Chain A
């Protein structure tokens, strides 16, 4: 970059306006319905449609393909993840999964692939789609997928198992990452391909994201559906940024719940907020959230400016994953027994935030 920008923490006018709308939706629609969706283990179609209505997938699509033609904006996406994540991490993950696919197509697809697949996302009702990277192994490493794609004439044949895919049963398209003879590659796989099967899986949290596994047994995919310029490191790093932003938002929700509760709940004749043991837990939540947020913003800002950002994304994700769990567990602790019962959302935040350790590549910003 030849420009000489000052250090700056101001959001642009557009970012501020778009934040306002999302924060309103998160607090008025998402948060109140999060518990019911979790209990039902089903995303609320109204929430999914509402988030789709913000048109995030449209923003960076070329105008010729029905989009707004704006430059890719990891920073803008991060703000969306943070705001929606404060409403409900789980349903945000489900609703934003197609955005991850769009961004992967934009960044890694060639022109023909753009023309073939991007129009699916050029409306405020994008087709359900998700990136399928994670595999059900304790030592899973994104750079070493066990799902294989072997070349067979003009096709590839895919075999393997993927997991933690949001809205797995509704998806029409998957972006499957598989090992080939020349390294990891990404394939656009249609849900009705022979040999493809899927099943819901019950998890500790993220239940309203309707996640599950995808099994590929001899699935034949045309070679033209292998993304031309795939960069796994970029996909993983941009997704780490997205997940860190979702966690930041959800942790903010923990804090917003703890403040009024600690001020109202009385013990030994006064509000528990007036005891340092409780007040300091809340202070540390605020302090660590600030650190998570700024690490995430920096990584996104570097990505947006075209600077290297792998290290920054890694650090943002690591810090967010670990501090988020501390914050979530302290959130339950501040509420005491009330944190453990399902009347309050604290135990849900706790269950949802643990999911960060298992999600890979799920939300490329």
Chain B
């Protein structure tokens, strides 16, 4: 039966995470936006422990549902969406700075061996994909990995690596043989203090300032053989190669809704603050008048709310499909495209609607508007998502629609 209301288990998770965001993130949000560069905020360590303690073992409710294969599942994907929205309502940069919350952790969790999970699971593992010459086009990376005896040797440059400075290890994408294309791209776990890996710079950014964004360089960087993630074999047929890279890209079907959820949190925070400010000044958007009989400011609030809710429902759907074993590549890209642009639009309009109060640092509105822009860019820009959605709708391959 069609239902979009959160069940009790997800509501509890939402309440718990909301408290954490409200009491743990919000009070230090402005402080760390100004500090920008530094160690992992000390305040985050107890929060990370609380999160780990509160995490239901083995996926919680979905386990029960496994007993009845016909039953609809609300599992780890929906749980992730709900908590990410709440945490980003608090502060996206702080969420990304939480220990063990790196994208590399997700990759190790997804395809790592038991030993890799044991060794790196509780540390902060960053992910290094982007290079000066390869952004959205991740198949074009040129960092190399070659085998030398019992070791892998990495050479190349990575940029825009979230957590690259503070992390304990980095999952690095590199190619075994550039002439073999996508199939030869593998990922490797490189401990932070490994000789040959150097921190080249830490970026100064418009937003998400406390989350460090690093450039790393690799010069004859040697790591043990067992630090490759997944299989080290290069598929030998065209079809198998495609499949191998497809597998890498498929992880985006799960992570894109998570990033969409970041935009939900940021936009909701901005709308709540805006509504509060406007109510103090006598503006009440209570749905009592038809859209075009409402004042401009009321209508704008309605539009922003509608956009936010549409993006949220689309994100729920993409996550729900993943929880229920349905292919969701199109829906994951749809929700990322919609939420990314919505988050940016909502936060910017909220700044504008509140005049000086929005633009000044009196409130978090200006910060939310700075933070929101990157959500429309990382984990696949809006345009990449449009491309993917268009290919699905038109039935065109990546070669036919570039």
Cβ contact within 8 Å between A290 and B293 = no
Query: Is B305's beta carbon under 8 Å from chain A?
Result: yes
The distance in angstroms between the C-alpha atoms of A276 and B400, with both chains bound, is: 11
* Chain B contacts for A294, CB-based, 8 A: 4, 310, 313-314, 317
Interface string of A253-294 (1 = CB under 8 A from B): 001000100110000000001101001101110111011101
- Given A142-B290, A287-B338, A282 and B394 contact (CB-CB distance below 8 Å): yes
Partner of A311, one of B287, B386, B389: B287
Give residues of chain A (326-343) contacting chain B, Cβ–Cβ below 8 Å. Answer: none
Q: How many residues of B contact A (CB 8 A)?
A: 52
The distance in angstroms between the C-alpha atoms of A307 and B2, with both chains bound, is: 14
- Given A273-B396, A315-B306, A310 and B287 contact (CB-CB distance below 8 Å): yes
Interface string of A132-162 (1 = CB under 8 A from B): 0000000111110000000000000000000
Q: Which residue of B lies closest to A294 (CB)?
A: B313
Residues of A contacting B: mostly:
helix
Cβ contact within 8 Å between A315 and B3 = no
Cβ contact within 8 Å between A302 and B317 = no
Query: Is A217's beta carbon under 8 Å from chain B?
Result: no
CB distance from A253 to the nearest CB of B (A): 14
Interface string of A3-20 (1 = CB under 8 A from B): 011111111100000000
Cβ contact within 8 Å between B394 and A5 = no
Give residues of chain A (300-314) contacting chain B, Cβ–Cβ below 8 Å. Answer: 300-302, 305, 307, 310-312, 314
Cβ contact within 8 Å between A282 and B320 = no
* Chain A contacts for B321, CB-based, 8 A: 9
CB distance from A148 to the nearest CB of B (A): 20
Cβ contact within 8 Å between B314 and A7 = no
Cβ contact within 8 Å between B401 and A6 = no
CB distance from A34 to the nearest CB of B (A): 23
Query: Is B228's beta carbon under 8 Å from chain A?
Result: no
Query: Is A353's beta carbon under 8 Å from chain B?
Result: no
Interface string of B71-83 (1 = CB under 8 A from A): 0111000100000
* Chain A contacts for B334, CB-based, 8 A: 286-287, 290
Q: Which of A169-177, A194-202, A316-324 contacts B (4 or more CB under 8 A)?
A: A316-324
Cβ contact within 8 Å between B305 and A305 = no
Query: Is A298's beta carbon under 8 Å from chain B?
Result: yes
Partner of B390, one of A279, A295, A305: A279
The distance in angstroms between the C-alpha atoms of A327 and B158, with both chains bound, is: 40
Q: Which residue of B lies closest to A307 (CB)?
A: B5
* Chain B contacts for A321, CB-based, 8 A: 291
Query: Is A297's beta carbon under 8 Å from chain B?
Result: yes
Query: Is A357's beta carbon under 8 Å from chain B?
Result: yes
Query: Is A47's beta carbon under 8 Å from chain B?
Result: no
The distance in angstroms between the C-alpha atoms of A297 and B309, with both chains bound, is: 12
Q: Which of B6-14, B210-218, B268-276, B349-357 contacts A (4 or more CB under 8 A)?
A: B6-14
Q: How many residues of A contact B (CB 8 A)?
A: 54
Cβ contact within 8 Å between B293 and A298 = no
Query: Is A75's beta carbon under 8 Å from chain B?
Result: yes
Residue from A12, A283, A290, A311 having most chain B Cβ neighbours under 10 A: A283
Query: Is B288's beta carbon under 8 Å from chain A?
Result: yes
Q: Which residue of A lies closest to B4 (CB)?
A: A298
Query: Is B252's beta carbon under 8 Å from chain A?
Result: no
- Given A7-B6, A276-B387, A287-B337, A318 and B306 contact (CB-CB distance below 8 Å): yes
Query: Is B393's beta carbon under 8 Å from chain A?
Result: yes
Partner of A11, one of B2, B10, B309, B311: B2
CB distance from B222 to the nearest CB of A (A): 43
* Chain A contacts for B402, CB-based, 8 A: 274, 276
* Chain B contacts for A301, CB-based, 8 A: 1-5
Interface string of B301-327 (1 = CB under 8 A from A): 011011101110110110011000000
CB distance from B396 to the nearest CB of A (A): 7
* Chain A contacts for B1, CB-based, 8 A: 5, 8, 10, 12, 301
* Chain A contacts for B6, CB-based, 8 A: 7
- Given A12-B1, A291-B313, A315 and B401 contact (CB-CB distance below 8 Å): no
Residue from B4, B293, B317, B395 having most chain A Cβ neighbours under 10 A: B4
Cβ contact within 8 Å between B3 and A8 = yes
The distance in angstroms between the C-alpha atoms of A276 and B293, with both chains bound, is: 38
Interface string of A67-92 (1 = CB under 8 A from B): 00000000100000000000000000
The distance in angstroms between the C-alpha atoms of A325 and B241, with both chains bound, is: 43
Cβ contact within 8 Å between A291 and B314 = yes
Cβ contact within 8 Å between A283 and B74 = no
* Chain A contacts for B291, CB-based, 8 A: 318, 321
Cβ contact within 8 Å between A8 and B72 = yes
* Chain B contacts for A262, CB-based, 8 A: 394
Q: List 11 A-B contacts (CB under 8 A).
A: A5-B7, A8-B320, A10-B1, A259-B393, A276-B387, A279-B394, A283-B389, A291-B311, A294-B313, A301-B5, A315-B309
B contacts, CB < 8 Å to A: 1-8, 10, 72-74, 78, 287-293, 302-303, 305-307, 309-311, 313-314, 316-317, 320-321, 331, 334, 337-338, 383, 385-387, 389-390, 392-396, 400-402
Apart from the given pairs A7-B6, A8-B320, A292-B310, 9 other A-B contacts in the complex at a CB distance below 8 Å = A7-B72, A75-B2, A276-B401, A276-B402, A283-B393, A298-B313, A307-B5, A311-B287, A314-B287
